[in-house]
Amino acid sequence: MMMSSLTSWWPGPGEFALPELSGIMAKAASPVKVLLVVAHPDDESECAATIYRITHEVGGVVDQLVVTDGAGGLSFSAPALDYYGLRRSRVTGKELSRLRRGELLRAGKIIGIRHHYFLDQKDSGFTLDVDEGLRTWDLPRVRGELSSLLERERYDVVLTLLPTSDTHGHHKTVALLALEAVQAFPDSSRPVLMGVSTGSFEKTGAAFEELPGFPETRTTNGQPVWSFDRRTPLSLSAALDHSIIVNWVIAEHKSQGMFQMEYGRHTHEHFWQFAAGGERREAVWRPLLRHFAADSLLTPAVAA
């Protein structure tokens, strides 16, 4: 579906404003606090530019919880294993998991993630089956750790990958678990819950309203409430843009070769808002979007 179907505002190439976002947020009572909940080491790349903006330009805090150990990501790792001086035939799942964790920690440093939480659940490789994780993971532990983290840290926003029908089954499972954890809080104290997917400005793919069979994943709008162009100039230098940061992150995940080829073609980070976010969702998310308004695509409901 074309993004032009939205009644929205989008600046031309020469109209990008570079407000002193850090100065604006310094006056705020408290910076935004975000938890990114993902399935695999490297999933943070879906919203790497936005995370960088929150931590470096807005003065916010971002933590990350990674559910699986990443041991299933060996399919396109040959160039990286050669780089690391390893032979594929001799690399165990445990060794790959350790390698990918190191890649993630280096990538996290680039975009300013404060804390990483690893649950080390089994990564059996690519699947579209949403139930695969539900069958093989230690669900009481995953649910308990996630709930405890949300209770202790009181995040304003929880980000997860958008659970579309054609995305990895583990992404769908993690989104469902995040929704379940958020919905356990009273409406008035729930964090905002957002789903992110990368793509182009011209085409985001089919509109997303919910994952078929899972009405709890319903969103407030079939189209994203906000989209960020990675080609937006950096506040540190108008001659450079946020795609540099994304490329740095992708380069750290050397073990994921196909991922690196694909992500170079994605220019935008698109965000959908889940209806399960409770009463606070607009009040929490809208002020942050206003700080980004000079270079963001907003639906009228959010931009108002």
Which tens digits make up the pLDDT trace of 79-120? 888 998 888 778 888 899 999 999 999 999 999 999 999 999
pLDDT number for residue 57: 86
pLDDT in tens, 2-28: 333 322 222 333 332 333 333 333 334
Q: Is residue 141 part of a domain?
A: yes
Helix, strand, coil % over all residues of the chain, rounded to 5: 45, 20, 35
Q: Is residue 16 part of a domain?
A: no
Q: Is residue 9 part of a domain?
A: no
Q: Is residue 90 part of a domain?
A: yes
Is residue 66 within 8 A of residue 117, CB to CB? The reply is yes
Read off the pLDDT of each residue in 119-125 and give the average, rounded to a whole number: 93
User: Which of helix, strand or coil describes residue 86?
Assistant: coil
On the question of pLDDT at 148 being above 80, the answer is yes
On the question of pLDDT at 77 being above 80, the answer is yes
Q: Which domain holds residue 262?
A: 32-303
Q: Is residue 294 part of a domain?
A: yes
The stretches of 184-273 forming alpha helices (DSSP H) are 243-252, 257-263
Query: How confident is residue 299, by pLDDT bands cut at 50, 70 and 90?
Result: very low
The stretches of 158-276 forming alpha helices (DSSP H) are 169-183, 243-252, 257-263
Here the CATH number for the domain that contains residue 253 is 3.40.50.10320
Handedness of CA 18, 231, 40, 193 (dihedral sign): positive
pLDDT number for residue 123: 93
Percentage of the chain surpassing pLDDT 90? 56
Q: Is residue 251 part of a domain?
A: yes
Q: Is residue 1 part of a domain?
A: no
Read off the pLDDT of each residue in 177-196 and give the average, rounded to a whole number: 92
- The number of folded domains in the chain is 1
pTM to 2 decimals?
0.85
pLDDT in tens, 62-71: 999 999 999 9
Q: Is residue 12 part of a domain?
A: no
pLDDT number for residue 205: 54
